Structure 1
Amino acid sequence: MIATRAALSQWSDPLEALGTLRADESVTLSATMTEIVTELNFHDGEAVEAGQLLVRLEDAEEQAQLRAVQALRDERRNALSRATQLQQRNLGSRADVEDSQAQLRQVEAEIDEIEARLADYRLRAPFDGIIGFRNISTGSLVTPGMELLTLDKLDVVKLDFRVPEVHLAALEPGLRLTARTAAYPDETFSGEIASIGTRVDPVDRSVAVRAILPNDDLRLRLRPGMLMEVVLQRRPREALVVPESVLVPSGERHYLFVIDESDDNRLERRRVEVGERRVGEVEILAGLEAGELVVHHGVQRARDGEHVALLGIADDETAVRDILRRERQQASPDVPAQGDA
């Protein structure tokens, strides 16, 4: 017989769904006026920082107006200074000083207005992110609403999917999940639920869920628009787990053979209550204690009350086939095991 030891393991009830990735932040920068592009400060796929100048439009006329108003501001400041000096010497009236102050404030407001308009001639990155494809060139004429470039923040991505309302009670922010995509079939990405929709769709009776996945790999493998297969880890808990192959079903009941180490490896056929299952493993709810030995290989030959000889104990480091290969080699040391010749 080959045995395995019942052990406590992290367990959860899987819930599968399909989801679509979205950028953490995403924006399409557009022109707000009709003007010519004079400067481009980015390349396709370039990482940019918040506030970085990306596009400059022709603003010579506005710059000339700004210089003219700045010169007028200097003149108004001088006029205010002279009026103040005269008033201090009792050679001018208080009204002249107040008029000069009002004229200076007026020209400063005009400067603020022109500088605000000039800001529309410069497109800056609103956040750190990755530039998309560049579809404009220096000298291009742009018009209001024309899309100039896209910017996406991809160090983390949002995964949106829907879950039937019957599972709503099991959902909560922070619940762990795993996701896979056809683009990387051998990799699994981990994340957690960030928020749950406030409404249930009355048509398909599902609720929207949004999760967050880290995407800080330098290759930025996860991209907006990707289809992801999602597995939610509901009811995470520590459970008693054994290989599914140790079970002996009988109608609706389940049994297994426990090896009593204190009684010369005597077999005991014991009824157990099973819970959830996953590939190759089953959760035991009652009838077995952690650390007990159960028959893993040779269940068909096991009989209640018999005393058996153990060939080995299978675990995470030693598979059943390894134990069987070792026994064959010990039985016939001169004959190489299959695959060893």
Structure 2
Amino acid sequence: MHVNRCTALFVLVTLLCPLPVLAQSPPTVIGSYVQSTTWSDPLEALGTLSADESVTLSATVTETVAEINFQDGQQVERGHLLIRLEDAEEQAQLRAAQALRDERRNASGRADQLQQRNLAARADVEDAQARLRQADADVQALEARLANYRIQAPFSGRVGFRNISVGALVTPGMELVTLDKLNVMKLDFSVPEVFLGRLSPGLALSAKTAAFPDEIFSGQIASIGTRIDPISRSVSVRAELDNPGLRLRPGMLMEVIVQQRVRNALVLPESALEPSGDRHYVMLIHQHDGATRLEQREVSIGERRHGEVEIIEGIAPEDLVVVHGLQLARDGQEVRLLGVVDDDTSIRALLEADR
């Protein structure tokens, strides 16, 4: 009976003096401004690198190596003498031909002087000049032959491994050294023919390789193939990439992203979208008279890429939208704006600062 009286008394006191109701604090949200930026529809492909210029140098004569003037992987300039073959016999023949040319030049000069004084026939002068021209041709032929004994760099580039030594006997067609021009690289890849109308020379692209996973190499389409492969129904495309530091190498596999249909667009993080069926909404943040309230707005979206989405209509540049806290956000609700994310401020940093 005593317990029942206490219980009844507690209920009576509770009814007469209700407990105070604690006011709910507004939910916390983080916002982001709508940005107008350059946007494109990415077209992905796999490509293979090749050097802008590439050649395997070989001998055209049979002779022994007399001199080697490069090291493995050396950067050389155009005209640099890489390999000299033994040419003593050809040099002797050239000196003999030059001496004969000098002799015939002197004879031609004397004949011309005599003819001017009417002491020699015109035919003798012409014969002397013809013999001089023949001697000149012989010298030029020997000089051309001697060029085959000097293997020079046809363009500036980087040489490969040296696999020969001084004294080695080389023969015509024997591969001696490779030379690659690497400051600009060619990137060949294929795309389905349905995208042919979207491609054009000069279109920007980016490429990545597993060798440098944290770096993106930029380039542009240089040319488009003139034929469609009837089996794969694809077209070949060649792009050019800058190669800073000469790190890219011929034969590398590259992941290519072509930036097609480049345009200006409004862009938001995907976390700002609230899908509902086939519709999409965002929560706009309005700050007025010291109060921060939300407005639900339907938007039309375009393409998506890497956590971002293109907004076609429904919002304007510099609108502030919710990107964190949408679970508790409601249309017309008053909220507390914790901060705005940008290039220097992340959602994590704002949440940690609010702890």
Scaled by the length of structure 1, the TM-score of the pair is 0.91
SS of structure 2 residue aligned to 1:90: coil
Report which of the two structures shows the higher radius of gyration computed on alpha carbons.
Answer: 2
Deviation at 1:267, TM superposition (A): 2.3
Deviation at 1:34, TM superposition (A): 1.1
Q: Which residue of 1 aligns with 2:190?
A: 162
After alignment, is 248-257 or 81-90 more displaced?
81-90
Deviation at 1:229, TM superposition (A): 0.9
Distance, in Å, in 1 between the alignment partners of 2:81 and 2:354 is 72
Q: What letter matches 1:205 in structure 2?
A: R
Aligned ranges 1:31-46 → 2 under 5 Å: 31-46=59-74
Residue of structure 1 aligned with 2:307, choices 266, 280, 293: 280
Q: Which residue of 2 aligns with 1:333?
A: none
- Measured against aligned partners, the alpha-carbon deviations of 1:44-90 in whole angstroms (never above 9, x if no partner) come to 11111111111111222222221222221122122222222222222
Q: Which residue of 1 aligns with 2:107?
A: 79
Q: Which residue of 2 aligns with 1:292?
A: 319
SS of structure 2 residue aligned to 1:203: coil
Scaled by the length of structure 2, the TM-score of the pair is 0.88
CA separation of 1:313 and 1:78: change in aligned 2, threshold 3 A: closer
Q: Which residue of 2 aligns with 1:306?
A: 333
Q: Which residue of 1 aligns with 2:254?
A: 228
Q: Following superposition, which runs of at least 4 residues in structure 1 exceed 6 angstroms of deviation?
A: none
Confirm or deny that 1:47 pairs with 2:47. no
Coordinate RMSD, CA, aligned = 1.5
SS of structure 1 residue aligned to 2:249: coil
SS of structure 2 residue aligned to 1:187: strand
SS of structure 2 residue aligned to 1:43: coil
Deviation at 1:316, TM superposition (A): 2.5
SS of structure 2 residue aligned to 1:13: strand
Residue of structure 2 aligned with 1:247, choices 273, 293, 314: 273
Deviation at 1:262, TM superposition (A): 4.1
- Measured against aligned partners, the alpha-carbon deviations of 1:275-324 in whole angstroms (never above 9, x if no partner) come to 11112211110111111122222212222223333232233322223222
The unaligned stretches of length 5 or more in structure 1 are: 329-341
Q: Which residue of 2 aligns with 1:185?
A: 213
Distance, in Å, in 2 between the alignment partners of 1:321 and 1:63 is 77
- Measured against aligned partners, the alpha-carbon deviations of 1:16-61 in whole angstroms (never above 9, x if no partner) come to 1111110111001111111111111111111111111111112222
CA separation of 1:2 and 1:74: change in aligned 2, threshold 3 A: closer
Q: What letter matches 1:267 in structure 2?
A: L
SS of structure 2 residue aligned to 1:62: helix
Q: Which residue of 2 aligns with 1:339?
A: none
CA separation of 1:82 and 1:323: change in aligned 2, threshold 3 A: closer
Deviation at 1:190, TM superposition (A): 1.5
Distance, in Å, in 1 between the alignment partners of 2:280 and 2:266 is 15
Distance, in Å, in 1 between the alignment partners of 2:105 and 2:345 is 88
- Measured against aligned partners, the alpha-carbon deviations of 1:167-217 in whole angstroms (never above 9, x if no partner) come to 112212222211111111222211111111111111101111111111131
Aligned ranges 1:249-268 → 2 under 5 Å: 249-262=275-288, 264-268=291-295
Q: What letter matches 2:326 in structure 1?
A: V
Aligned ranges 1:46-125 → 2 under 5 Å: 46-125=74-153
Q: How many residues are paired up?
A: 326
After alignment, is 265-274 or 197-206 more displaced?
265-274
Q: Which residue of 2 aligns with 1:321?
A: 348
Q: What letter matches 2:44 in structure 1?
A: E
Distance, in Å, in 2 between the alignment partners of 1:160 and 1:314 is 39
CA separation of 1:321 and 1:37: change in aligned 2, threshold 3 A: closer
The unaligned stretches of length 5 or more in structure 2 are: 1-28
SS of structure 2 residue aligned to 1:300: coil
SS of structure 2 residue aligned to 1:172: coil
